[in-house]
Amino acid sequence: MDYYSLKMRASQQVGEGEQRHEQHISGAERIVARENVEAVCSAMVRRAMTHSKGDPDFINVKIEKVHESDIRILKALPVTRVDVETWQEGLEKAFELIGEAVGSAAGDAGTDAIREFANKLPELLRETFPMRGAMLYDIATGKRLEPDQARGVRATYMDALRGNVVDSCKNHFNEAIVLATKVANAPGIVAEICISDDPEYVTGYVASKELGYVRIMKMKEAGDENGGRIFLFDSRRASAEECIDYLQKKKVLVDVDGRMA
Ligand code: WAQ
Ligand code: MG
């Protein structure tokens, strides 16, 4: 069976004179069977045209055929949740889990290095706030590996296997479990931490093959529009090129097997 990748992005011109620029309003991507291309396409356009961020004056929809033999099917990471009283507690828990994941990936070798990394983590997360993609951070060297640091690296070409055919409103969890599963299976990836940039969506997660997908129910204050992602990578296990190539180009369908909301 042949599949099609659909990608949509919508934007609006804002500001006056010199300040005039394009502002992102909405984006979505799917990989669907041929018979669903039209329906999914019109649902995407509807999503763009009815977005609360504004009325788009530019919508780009790209449709590409994807051969079944080029698609990798992955089993979704197992999901657990951590309930916390406050967002501060949630953030602390997330840093702790990431510290452990990075520590065990690095082996006993790096206890000092790990402590240093743990101290740096809150600042690294803040650095991702203006980015559209994720930071790719090398735990072996302490260096950032994104070719464009202002933008970051974006994981793309992924969807849920047998997902809802037409799903016009954003479901944060459904999209995140797909992305996190693709990322956790990337060459050299050790763990991921994510906070949504939607002001009202305070649940975030940490994920890795070993941890699974750990939902942390509060990771920021309600109303805060800052969010970001860090992909923690180990350059002793793979090259940055092969990791980025997988994240940006490899087609992945995630078998969510009843895990979706
Ligand atoms: N690849 C890399 N980074 C991305 C991508 C992508 N495809 N999409 C978004 N980001 C980065 C970008 O910097 C955003 O600012 C940041 O991640 C957050 O993205 O279990 O909604 O789409 O309920 O706002 C977590 C769900 C939802 C938790 C996360 O992220 C749960 C979310 P958002
Ligand atoms: Mg968002």
In degrees rounded to 5, what are phi and psi of residue 205? Answer: -155, 160
Give residue 12's identity as a one-letter amino acid code.
Q
Confidence (pLDDT) at 110: 62
Confidence (pLDDT) at 232: 98
The structure tokens listed for 93 are: 């828990």
DSSP summary character for residue 18 = G
CA-CA distance, 217 to 31, in Å (whole number)? 29
User: 251-260, pLDDT tens digit by residue?
Assistant: 999 999 766 6
Confidence (pLDDT) at 14: 92
Q: Ligand 1 centroid to 173 CA: how many Å?
A: 10
CA-closest residue to ligand 1 atom 24: 196
Q: Ligand 1 centroid to 207 CA: how many Å?
A: 13
Confidence (pLDDT) at 26: 87
- What is the CB < 6 Å shell around ligand 1? 128, 131-134, 152, 154-156, 172-173, 176, 179, 194, 196-198, 201, 203-205, 215, 227-229
CA-CA distance, 190 to 12, in Å (whole number)? 37
CA-closest residue to ligand 1 atom 21: 196
Rounded (10°) CA dihedral 135, 137, 142, 145:
-80
Confidence (pLDDT) at 1: 81
Evaluate whether 132 touches 210 at the Cβ level (below 8 Å). Answer: no
Give residue 212's identity as a one-letter amino acid code.
G
Query: Which of the listed residues 77, 229, 231, 260 should we mutate to test ligand 1's pocket, taking the one with most ligand atoms within 8 A of CB?
Result: 229
Block means of pLDDT (10 residues each) for the chain, length 261 residues? 94 93 89 95 94 90 96 97 98 96 80 85 97 96 97 96 70 94 98 95 98 98 96 97 98 85 60
CA-CA distance, 175 to 29, in Å (whole number)? 10
Total-model pTM: 0.93
Confidence (pLDDT) at 11: 95
Confidence (pLDDT) at 167: 66
User: 45-62, pLDDT tens digit by residue?
Assistant: 999 999 888 899 999 999
CA-closest residue to ligand 1 atom 32: 196
